[in-house]
């Protein structure tokens, strides 16, 4: 129970917050820890702050290379059996380390645990910062939820060090979402995070924080959606036994980001819509056998109504889609054959449109609500049916 825990704190000109973060570690009830501060080329009073703690901290200075490189440097110097990444502006709850070590000790088959979190604005070192919200964290199926979006801030995750050291670490080409990128890669390798109900961390929002730069954040969200889609294509069994739900969760997350991009008048919204289309259709194509005919027809009726829009009237596949829908409804032809033809023509429409519908911004809300309705229908069905 007394294995060493390595706390890696990367920092760059965060002298205003660093002491509070370090103090939140030193106040832990668990004592066998090493605190590693990676100074990524700070020009403020970071070094003086660290020196004030004397021998309680391992200090490493490097030329400014970015957050991912700083964390990777910390990984190389970590000697503990467990590992946690704490950004220099965030805080740990008092019993956090104790609860995380106990959780992994009591569940030896688990390599990653993740705990609750609270968002806060306070700039002082209060033990109980006043929170104003949290990242929504689910209690189970976290591999599915990781297909959707990131599920928690970095310091909510707690690792057995061996899986981090055996990984490729944080991607140094990313300046945001680098944590989400690593979590999804680890999950695909079989290291799925599990929920620890006892721990708590605090995530600070302030003008200098990465999450406050929405334009940069959403730009990297687009990059990560594309990466996750690529990983899902290359790993056809992930999430194991829950592929349908994973593809649907991914599509839902993409639609959410696309809508936010459009709302802020940022680029790539239509690019994401097309990605969501492709994911939904892969789910339908591969899992149509487990979807009842009634539900199948229900959300494909939406396809048919979607084609009423004037910009789709002359699209090559429209007549094929309408014909196969009609035949399925009448039951006059081979349903399996019609279903196969229907899938093929829909995918053709969505991936090879005769018009560049993805560039027509006035269609955005129309497309968004169509995708949203499909996701809602499938989610409702999934909740009521245990076979999926």
Would you list the DSSP string of 242-282?
-HHHHHHHHHHHHHHHHHHHHHTT-TTHHHHHHHHHHHHHH
Which of 186, 212, 238 is the endpoint of a domain? 212
Nearest-10 Cα torsion for 30, 34, 40, 46: 70
- Within this chain, do residues 151 and 177 fall inside the same structural domain, yes or no? yes
Under 8 Å CB-to-CB from 121, ≥6 apart: which residues? 130, 132, 204, 205, 206
What is the spatial distance between Cα 83 and Cα 163, in angstroms, rounded to a whole number? 10
Please state whether 56 falls in left (phi above 0), alpha (psi between -120 and 50) or beta.
alpha
- Check if the beta carbon of residue 345 is closer than 8 Å to that of residue 321: yes
Which residues are registered as beta bridge partners of 6? 34, 83
Q: Please count the residues of the chain.
A: 388
Structure token pair of residue 342? 């229907």
- Within this chain, do residues 324 and 225 fall inside the same structural domain, yes or no? yes
Helix H, strand E, coil C: the string for 71-90 is HHHHHHHCCCCEEEECCCCC
β-pair type (5-11, 33-40): parallel
Q: How many CB atoms lie within 10 A of CB 356?
A: 9
- Within this chain, do residues 111 and 197 fall inside the same structural domain, yes or no? yes
Burial track 272-302 (b if 16+ CB lie within 10 A, e otherwise): bbbbbbbbbbbbbeebeeebeeeebeebbee
Number of domains in the chain: 2
- Within this chain, do residues 134 and 46 fall inside the same structural domain, yes or no? yes
pLDDT of residue 98: 98
pLDDT of residue 274: 73
- Within this chain, do residues 164 and 27 fall inside the same structural domain, yes or no? yes
- Within this chain, do residues 156 and 37 fall inside the same structural domain, yes or no? yes
Q: What is the DSSP letter of 355?
A: S
Backbone angles phi, psi at 239, to 5 degrees: -65, 140
What is the spatial distance between Cα 332 and Cα 327, in angstroms, rounded to a whole number? 6
β-pair type (57-62, 33-40): parallel
- Within this chain, do residues 327 and 197 fall inside the same structural domain, yes or no? no
User: Which domain does 71 fall in, by range?
Assistant: 5-212
- Within this chain, do residues 181 and 222 fall inside the same structural domain, yes or no? no
Which of 195, 212, 229 is the endpoint of a domain? 212
Which of 212, 245, 266 is the endpoint of a domain? 212
Task: Tell me how many helices (H) and strands (E) the chain has.
Answer: 14, 9
pLDDT of residue 320: 65
Per-residue pLDDT of the chain (388 residues; tens, 9 = 90+): 589 999 999 999 999 999 999 999 999 999 999 999 999 999 999 999 999 998 999 999 999 999 999 999 999 999 999 999 999 999 999 999 999 999 999 999 999 999 999 988 755 444 455 544 556 777 888 998 999 889 999 999 999 999 999 999 999 999 889 999 999 999 999 999 999 999 999 999 876 655 556 777 888 899 999 999 999 999 988 998 888 778 878 887 887 787 778 777 777 766 776 787 778 777 766 666 555 444 444 444 444 444 544 554 445 556 666 666 556 555 555 566 655 665 555 555 544 444 444 344 444 444 555 555 555 554 554 555 543 3
Residue 201's domain is classified under what CATH number?
A: 3.90.550.10
What is the spatial distance between Cα 171 and Cα 158, in angstroms, rounded to a whole number? 19
Kind and range of the H or E element at 159? strand 157-160
pTM: 0.76
- Within this chain, do residues 162 and 195 fall inside the same structural domain, yes or no? yes
> Exposed, middle or buried by CB within 10 Å (0-12, 13-18, 19+), for 177?
buried
Which residues are registered as beta bridge partners of 62? 40
- Within this chain, do residues 126 and 189 fall inside the same structural domain, yes or no? yes
- Within this chain, do residues 320 and 208 fall inside the same structural domain, yes or no? no
- Within this chain, do residues 55 and 90 fall inside the same structural domain, yes or no? yes
Per the omega criterion (within 30 degrees of 0), is the bond before 239 cis?
yes
pLDDT of residue 247: 83
């Amino acid at each position: 129970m007394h294995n060493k825990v390595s706390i890696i704190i990367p920092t760059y000109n965060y002298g205003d917050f660093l002491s509070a973060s370090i103090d939140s570690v030193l106040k832990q009830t668990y004592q066998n820890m090493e605190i590693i501060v990676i100074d990524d080329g700070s020009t403020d009073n970071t070094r003086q702050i660290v020196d004030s703690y004397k021998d309680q901290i391992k200090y490493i200075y490097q030329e400014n290379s970015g957050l991912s490189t700083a964390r990777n440097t910390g990984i190389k110097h970590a000697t503990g059996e467990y590992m946690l990444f704490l950004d220099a502006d965030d805080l740990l709850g008092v019993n956090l380390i104790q609860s995380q070590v106990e959780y992994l000790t009591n569940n030896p088959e688990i390599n990653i645990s993740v705990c609750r979190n609270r968002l806060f604005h306070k700039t002082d070192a209060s033990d109980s910062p006043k929170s104003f919200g949290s990242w929504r964290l689910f209690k189970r199926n976290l591999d599915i939820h990781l297909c959707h979006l990131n599920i928690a801030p970095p310091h909510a995750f707690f690792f057995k060090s061996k899986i981090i050291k055996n990984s490729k670490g944080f991607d140094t080409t990313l300046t945001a979402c680098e944590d989400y990128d690593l979590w999804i890669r680890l999950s695909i390798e079989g290291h799925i995070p599990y929920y620890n109900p006892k721990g708590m961390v605090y995530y600070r929002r302030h003008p200098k924080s990465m999450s406050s730069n929405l334009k940069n954040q959403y730009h990297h969200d687009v990059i990560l959606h594309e990466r996750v889609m690529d990983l899902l294509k290359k790993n056809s069994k992930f999430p194991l036994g829950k592929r349908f739900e994973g593809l649907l969760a991914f599509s839902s997350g993409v639609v959410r980001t696309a809508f936010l991009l459009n709302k802020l008048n940022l680029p790539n919204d239509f690019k994401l819509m097309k990605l969501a289309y492709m994911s939904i259709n892969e789910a339908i194509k591969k899992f149509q056998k487990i979807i009842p005919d009634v539900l199948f027809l229900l959300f494909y009726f939406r396809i048919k109504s979607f084609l009423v829009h004037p910009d789709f009237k002359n699209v090559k596949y429209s007549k094929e889609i309408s014909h196969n829908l009609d035949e399925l409804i009448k039951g006059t032809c081979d349903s399996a054959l019609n279903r196969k033809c229907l899938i093929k023509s829909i995918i053709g429409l969505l991936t090879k449109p005769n018009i560049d519908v993805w560039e027509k911004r006035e269609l955005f809300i129309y497309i968004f609500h169509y995708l949203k309705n499909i996701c809602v229908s499938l989610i409702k069905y999934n909740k009521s049916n245990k076979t999926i």
